[in-house]
């Protein structure tokens, strides 16, 4: 659920220079044992000036788009076998994010401590130095924005650099195709610049009749070429805005999310940008009859499911709500952002897809293709032990008869970290907040985020205070709707619950997680005993839920509905205080969800609560105690 999100809104000799060699590494100070340290030359590129372009000038927006698209693909191909190319681009919360992580990996952590670095001054130099990693160009059509996603797919599957056709002197196309004379291996636009995909006749390279939409023809062409042949890797897809961004490039200049493409190009993922609704045409393709795009979307999901042989499909990205498919778009659609998110989640879940939800606001993340080589330990124990029942009694939470005191118990679900991009940016700031450690917090870090941001999770565990606890966010090791794993009217496929359970069990075990902070049901329907039984097998210490009216225990699994707190700290305090004042003879439980709040915010909230009389003061407890006390209150041993 993202209501708050939407408001915050390729010569062998040279190649040898970059080969990765691993040697055993000592323990970094105060850290976990790393499996290895990298000895290599790392090329670095400073793309931060691109964040200062004037997006009100179309030529500047186009320069940003074309440069970042090429850089991301170049990075993904360069980092396919080893971490060789690093970008400095992202920042958030007053932190130069990419610089922070690079410095930490070369300093305290030590993974890159012995690596030489070589700054690259220009895109041209980067392309020349990394010429062995790619075979040529894929040229796409800015007038048919969907060709940009097809170009990113082609980049990963055919080792190509994507470039938008633009013969203007000084353009990225001019640099690559004319000055550097890199051969074009694939044209997604005619060589004279006229559209190859027109929505008329037959789909290029096929005998299939057109859908009547150039956008949808591009997608069907890509499905046939990359999923049905197949060329894409199984089980990985990328959902990011296509070149339609160039028509509405305002706001945060990184909302193009092109820097996120590197990981998915390295992984040979399928890229797409389709809307989920069947009752209205998408605002980027208004002439297409309502429902046709949804039909192509469902056929794509089935092709991804088949390519994964019925396994899970990682879907990086999120509904591009500022640009398409929602009432926030231009022109606006009929559905709001949360409803569109939920419909997208409901549909992909029916085909075993789970999101890594790089939602707009903090959606941009660079260097995931680099970080995926970070040498994780086999297991990361929780930094703090589970509080024992005797501790609950000592604190007065249990009376002499072992009954839970009639007080309001509050647990903090600290979210939303179902997106590597959000985790990547928040942790460098929030984990250096001097107020952290004053309040018990349940950091809801989906363990699946370790595929793109492994070092961030390792950092958090290493720097945890005695009040930091790590739980999974929505809906576990990835964001999906559990009920849509079992009830699947749009796919007609057999249940995916067993595959999901095994996926979560493996990832929870590595990060020693036993609580799921939020089983996000969305519009797929409320979870039932069947889904709760699956969660009990990997999340035995509790789960936050979506639609339950009251705290409950489902055959040993303690649950409590999450409730969003207001962003304003005083308003949040009033909510909790009012609830506490109305507790009767039975204890109350409030699983409080908040999004991108700083440790200082929680400390201020705690101070406001402390001003209340002891008898009615809300008691903030750690997540283990929160769900454990529910179990006791409901008569579970």
Domains of the chain: residue spans and CATH? 10-371 (no CATH), 389-633 (3.20.20.490)
Alpha-carbon gap, residue 570 to 558, rounded angstroms? 30
Per-chain mean pLDDT for the chain: 93
Closest C-alpha to 413, from 318, 342, 516, 514: 516
Q: What is the C-alpha end-to-end distance of the chain, expressed in Å? A: 33
Structure tokens at 451: 């595929």
Question: What are the tens digits of pLDDT across the range 611-635?
Answer: 999 999 999 999 999 999 999 999 8
Task: Please enumerate in sequence order all residues whose Cβ is within 8 A of that of 119, keeping only pairs 6 or more positions apart, or say none.
Answer: 43, 44, 45, 46
Question: What are the tens digits of pLDDT across the range 443-452?
Answer: 999 999 999 9
**pLDDT at residue 358, rounded to an integer:** 98
**pLDDT at residue 331, rounded to an integer:** 87
Determine contact, residues 288/257, Cβ cutoff 8 Å: no
Confidence of residue 219 (pLDDT cuts 50, 70, 90): very high
Question: What are the tens digits of pLDDT across the range 177-201?
Answer: 999 999 999 999 999 999 999 999 9
Pairing of strands 557-564, 552-554: antiparallel
Residue 497 zone, left/alpha/beta (φ > 0; ψ -120 to 50; rest): alpha
**What predicted TM-score, i.e. pTM, was given to this entire model?**
0.93
Pairing of strands 85-88, 41-46: parallel
Is the pLDDT at 368 greater than 70? The verdict is: yes
Question: What are the tens digits of pLDDT across the range 424-439?
Answer: 999 999 999 999 999 9
CA 284 to chain centre: 24
Q: Return the bridge partners of 228, or none.
A: none
**pLDDT at residue 251, rounded to an integer:** 82
């Amino acid at each position: 659920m993202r209501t708050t999100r939407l408001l915050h809104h390729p010569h062998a000799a040279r190649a040898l220079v970059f080969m990765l060699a691993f040697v055993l590494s000592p323990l970094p100070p105060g850290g976990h044992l790393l499996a290895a340290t990298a000895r290599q030359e790392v090329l670095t590129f400073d793309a931060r000036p691109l964040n200062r372009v004037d997006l009100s000038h179309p030529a500047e927006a186009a320069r940003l788009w074309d440069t970042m698209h090429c850089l991301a693909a170049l990075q993904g191909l360069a980092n396919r076998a080893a971490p060789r190319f690093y970008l400095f681009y992202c920042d958030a919360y007053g932190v130069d994010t990419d610089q922070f992580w690079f410095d930490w990996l070369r300093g305290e952590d030590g993974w890159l401590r012995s690596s030489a670095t070589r700054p690259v001054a220009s895109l041209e130099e980067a392309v020349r130095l990394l010429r062995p990693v790619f075979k040529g160009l894929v040229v796409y059509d800015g007038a048919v924005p969907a060709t940009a996603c097809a170009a990113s797919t082609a980049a990963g599957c055919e080792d190509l650099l994507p470039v938008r056709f633009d013969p203007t002197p000084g353009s990225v196309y001019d640099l690559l195709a004319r000055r550097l004379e890199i051969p074009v291996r694939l044209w997604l636009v005619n060589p004279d610049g006229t559209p190859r995909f027109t929505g008329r006749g037959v789909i290029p390279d096929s005998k299939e009749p057109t859908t009547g939409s150039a956008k949808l023809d591009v997608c069907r062409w890509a499905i046939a070429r990359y999923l049905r042949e197949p060329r894409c890797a199984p089980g990985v897809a990328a959902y990011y805005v296509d070149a339609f961004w160039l028509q509405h490039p305002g706001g945060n200049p990184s909302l193009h999310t092109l820097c996120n493409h590197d990981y998915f190009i390295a992984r040979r993922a399928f890229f797409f940008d389709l809307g989920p609704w069947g009752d209205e045409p998408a605002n980027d393709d208004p002439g297409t009859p309502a429902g046709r795009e949804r039909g192509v979307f469902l056929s794509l999901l089935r092709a991804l499911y088949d390519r994964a042989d019925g396994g899970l499909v990682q879907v990086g990205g999120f509904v591009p709500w500022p640009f398409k498919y929602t009432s926030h778009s231009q022109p606006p659609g009929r559905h709001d952002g949360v409803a569109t998110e939920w419909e997208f989640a409901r549909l992909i879940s029916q085909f075993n897809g789970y999101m890594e939800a790089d939602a707009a606001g903090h959606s941009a993340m660079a260097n995931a293709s680099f970080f995926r080589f970070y040498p994780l330990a086999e297991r990361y124990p929780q930094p703090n032990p589970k509080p024992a029942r005797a501790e609950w009694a000592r604190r007065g939470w249990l009376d002499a008869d072992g009954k839970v005191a009639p007080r309001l118990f509050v647990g903090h679900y600290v979210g939303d970290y179902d997106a590597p991009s959000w985790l990547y940016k928040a942790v460098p700031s929030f984990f250096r907040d001097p107020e952290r450690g004053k309040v018990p917090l349940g950091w809801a870090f989906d363990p699946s985020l370790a595929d793109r941001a492994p070092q961030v999770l390792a950092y958090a565990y290493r720097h945890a205070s005695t009040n930091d606890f790590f739980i999974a966010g929505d809906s576990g090791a990835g964001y999906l709707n559990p009920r849509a794993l079992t009830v699947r009217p749009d796919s007609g496929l057999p249940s995916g619950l067993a595959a999901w359970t095994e996926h979560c069990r493996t990832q929870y075990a590595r990060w020693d997680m036993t609580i799921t902070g939020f089983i996000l049901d969305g519009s797929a329907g409320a979870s039932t005993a069947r889904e709760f039984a699956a969660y009990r097998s990997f999340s035995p210490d509790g789960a936050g839920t979506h639609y339950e009216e009251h705290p409950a225990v489902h055959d040993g699994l303690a649950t409590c509905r999450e409730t969003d707190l207001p962003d304003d700290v005083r308003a949040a305090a009033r909510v909790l205080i009012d609830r506490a004042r109305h507790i009767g003879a039975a204890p109350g439980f409030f699983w409080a969800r908040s999004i991108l709040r700083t440790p200082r915010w929680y400390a201020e909230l705690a101070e406001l609560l402390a001003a209340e009389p002891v008898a009615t003061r809300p008691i903030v407890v750690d997540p283990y105690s929160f769900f454990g006390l529910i179990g006791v209150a409901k008569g579970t041993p």
